[in-house]
């Protein structure tokens, strides 16, 4: 066999071919550099998103929304991170303990701002190198669904732990378990109430559909007296979305159940604070969803309620 000097000679290649150590190190260095750059960009995005969420007010809403839209959210990972940070901020809303009432009222006003911010981002869509597509709106909806299911599971787990505490015979151990339970339950309640408020505001921004919202409300009302937290979330949701939802769905059965809870026979099973919330939302619907009080009147009423609560202790 004769070979021409101009012919290209192909060498046999093996899967585990020997590679000079210098070349291996150079490749690893390049991969590490690329990874570090990507992590740096992700960290920079997280810092900017947190900054926007911390600074946003009704006065700077438009400018910070434009700043949010201008962020370099060009990968699915960064898009998911932005959504996670919004919900992380929401879950830190205080629930509504009496000692922090005014702070809670102030924090509650941020839920509409965050929902409006999300509404401006619903058209954002990202494509990955492997052909996958993710949108801000879809990720928001998926996050709402996963958190709603997670909250249900954790509420059930909380009820089981309470039952275990009640069966505990050791006084010291029981006290320790009770304190741990109360702390975990406080955190759970704060997150759940914050998430429900935000879900309601997302519905008002037309990110969530009426059917999704109605499902959430039905799920809450069926839990009934055994879980006051569900009733609290239900009342908050109805105050937020009731006016709009009443136009597309029949809420009569839901309010019939709420009226039953205000009956004399049921009142002893429900905390006083929850009874006031139920009656407020019933009155709100009766008045065609027009609030009877200004914010200042609400504060005065809250002061009166706090006084009544303190006297009863």
Spans of all domains in the chain: 223-291
- Helix (H/G/I), strand (E/B), else coil: 138: helix
The string over 76-101, giving b where at least 16 C-beta atoms fall within 10 Å of a residue's C-beta and e elsewhere, is bbbbbbbbebbbebbbebbbbeeeeb
Mean pLDDT of 182-203: 87
Residue 172 has pLDDT above 80, yes or no: yes
Instruction: Calculate the average pLDDT of the chain.
Output: 80
**pTM for this one?**
0.73
Cα 209 to Cα 288: distance, rounded to the nearest angstrom: 22
The residues pairing with 133 across neighbouring beta strands, listed in sequence order, are 127
The pLDDT of 35-39, averaged and rounded, is: 80
What's residue 95's pLDDT?
39
Residue 96 scores a pLDDT above 90? no
Strand partners, 127: 133
Choose between 159 and 288: higher pLDDT: 288
Residue 17 has a pLDDT of 65
User: Residues for the chain: how many in total?
Assistant: 313
């Amino acid at each position: 066999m004769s070979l021409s000097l101009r012919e290209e000679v192909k060498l046999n290649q093996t899967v585990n071919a020997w590679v000079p150590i210098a070349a291996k190190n150079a490749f690893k260095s390049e991969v590490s550099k690329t990874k570090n750059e990507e992590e740096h960009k992700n960290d920079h995005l997280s810092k900017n998103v947190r900054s926007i969420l911390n600074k946003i007010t009704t006065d700077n809403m438009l400018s910070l929304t434009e700043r949010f839209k201008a962020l370099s959210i060009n990968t699915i990972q960064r898009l998911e991170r932005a959504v996670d940070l919004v919900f992380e901020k929401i879950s830190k809303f205080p629930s509504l303990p009496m000692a922090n009432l005014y702070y809670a009222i102030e924090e509650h006003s941020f839920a509409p701002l965050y929902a409006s911010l999300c509404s401006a981002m619903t058209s954002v869509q990202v494509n990955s190198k492997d052909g996958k597509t993710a949108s801000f709106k879809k990720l928001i909806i998926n996050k709402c669904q996963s958190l709603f299911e997670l909250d249900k599971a954790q509420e059930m787990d909380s009820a089981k732990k309470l039952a275990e505490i009640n069966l505990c015979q050791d006084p010291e151990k029981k006290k320790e378990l009770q304190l741990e339970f109360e702390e975990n339950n406080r955190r759970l309640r704060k997150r759940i109430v914050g998430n429900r408020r935000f879900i309601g505001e997302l519905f008002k921004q037309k990110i969530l559909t009426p059917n999704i919202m109605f499902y959430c409300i039905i799920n809450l009302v069926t839990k009934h007296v055994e879980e006051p937290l569900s009733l609290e979330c239900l009342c908050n949701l109805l105050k937020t979305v009731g006016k709009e939802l009443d136009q597309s769905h029949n809420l009569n059965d839901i309010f019939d159940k709420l009226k039953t809870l205000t009956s004399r026979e049921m009142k002893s099973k429900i905390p006083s604070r929850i009874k006031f919330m139920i009656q407020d939302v019933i009155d709100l619907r009766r008045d065609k969803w027009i609030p009877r009080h200004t914010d200042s009147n609400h504060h005065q009423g809250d002061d009166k309620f706090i006084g009544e609560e303190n006297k009863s202790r």
